[in-house]
């Protein structure tokens, strides 16, 4: 290799081969893909949380259904009480309109003011 260009090509090829070997070694293609224990613990925790969330949602759905049924009963009782109140008011207003007024007029003696000074 007496020529200057031949040496440059050899140097360029050596550099390319070096960096290619470096990239292959850095990639670790021979290493097995072992899972990280933290990732496994995280996956287990996720499945536990999903199961727990499903149970919580079931409990909430049951409580909501119970609340809705109790609310419906309560609203019907309130409506019945309002109708009874209006019926009672109608009956009492009819009875007071037909009866004589129950107002008494009271006459008091004149007020006497005495001063002590």
Is residue 60 assigned to a domain? Answer: yes
Is residue 63 assigned to a domain? Answer: yes
pLDDT attached to residue 94: 67
Is residue 6 assigned to a domain? Answer: no
pLDDT attached to residue 95: 66
Q: Which pTM value belongs to this model?
A: 0.45
pLDDT attached to residue 8: 92
Joined tokens for residue 34: 């072992």
Helix (H, G, I), strand (E, B) or coil at 35: coil
Is residue 96 assigned to a domain? Answer: no
Q: Which of these, 47, 51, 50, 29, lies nearest to 39 by C-alpha position?
A: 47
pLDDT attached to residue 100: 62
Flag residues of the chain having pLDDT under 50: none
Q: Can you tell me which residue has the tokens 């309002």?
A: 82
Domain region containing 73: 36-90
Joined tokens for residue 93: 């207003």
Is residue 41 assigned to a domain? Answer: yes
Joined tokens for residue 21: 């070997």
pLDDT attached to residue 89: 85
Is residue 17 assigned to a domain? Answer: no
Is residue 29 assigned to a domain? Answer: no
Is residue 86 assigned to a domain? Answer: yes
Domain count for the chain? 1
């Amino acid at each position: 290799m007496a020529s200057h260009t031949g040496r440059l090509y050899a140097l360029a090829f050596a550099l390319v081969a070096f960096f290619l070997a470096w990239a292959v070694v850095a990639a670790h293609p021979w290493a097995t893909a072992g899972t990280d224990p933290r990732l496994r613990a995280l996956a287990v925790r996720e499945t536990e949380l999903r199961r727990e969330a499903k149970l919580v949602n079931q409990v909430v759905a049951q409580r909501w259904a119970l609340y809705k049924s109790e609310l419906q009963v309560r609203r019907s009782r309130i409506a019945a009480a309002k109708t009874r109140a209006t019926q009672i008011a109608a009956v009492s207003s009819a009875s007071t309109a037909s009866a004589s007024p129950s107002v008494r007029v009271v006459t008091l003696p004149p007020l006497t003011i005495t001063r002590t000074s």
